[in-house]
Amino acid sequence: MWSNLEKPWQLAMKLAWESFKSGSLPIAAVIADADGKIVCTGRNTVLEKCFKNRNMAHAEMGALMDLDYDAHPEIRKYTIYTTLEPCPMCMGAIVMSDVRKLRVAVRDPWAGAVDICQLPYIASKNMDIVFEAGKMPTILTVLYLYRLWEGYGTNADNFLKRLDEHFPAETTFARDLLAKNILRNFAEEGASIEKIYNYIEGTWKL
């Protein structure tokens, strides 16, 4: 149930849905302090031209660039929640930012870079990384795959083929929703992410 999600995950999903509605990729990041208070956020804006170099407009980068280092001396106790496994750029930025705790909703078999934590320098940072389980990652996977097929389709064969291999059920479900334009219709109606969460959960009987 939506109400059972931790507050940082609820906010991350809301921001991811905002990116979806705005035509970008439904990816978001939230940084919380040691007490769970949300400090800053970011969402993917790669297709919204918010940065001069839009390839840098990733969710984690947005959140980290907004994190005031001097105002937060205990950054190493902070946690970054991200809806998709960070790419090499974002994973490196997380490490260099001194945030030491990372929670990830969806694995990324294409660009996910958590494995770089095996490098000696990064391993010395003792990153605390957790991949979430349960319904929430599945619902975010469907949302992500829907947007990818909607935006790229057969123009990204190799990329989408790899995702299909890792998420066959989610891909089938997302493409079924896309064929009926369901999530885009919800977006145009201004539906909340809570409604999307409950719709996918109920329709797929998760």
CB 38 within 8 A of CB 30: yes
Distances 67 to 6, 15, 78, 115, 202 between C-alpha atoms, Å: 21, 17, 11, 24, 37
Report the alpha-carbon distance of residue 18 to residue 142 in Å, rounded. 16
Report the alpha-carbon distance of residue 13 to residue 28 in Å, rounded. 7
The single residue of 48, 60, 132, 165 carrying the catalytic annotation is: 60
| Amino acid identity, position 152 | Y
Determine whether 48 is an active site residue. no
Residue with tokens 């956020």: 41
| Catalytic sites, residue numbers | 60
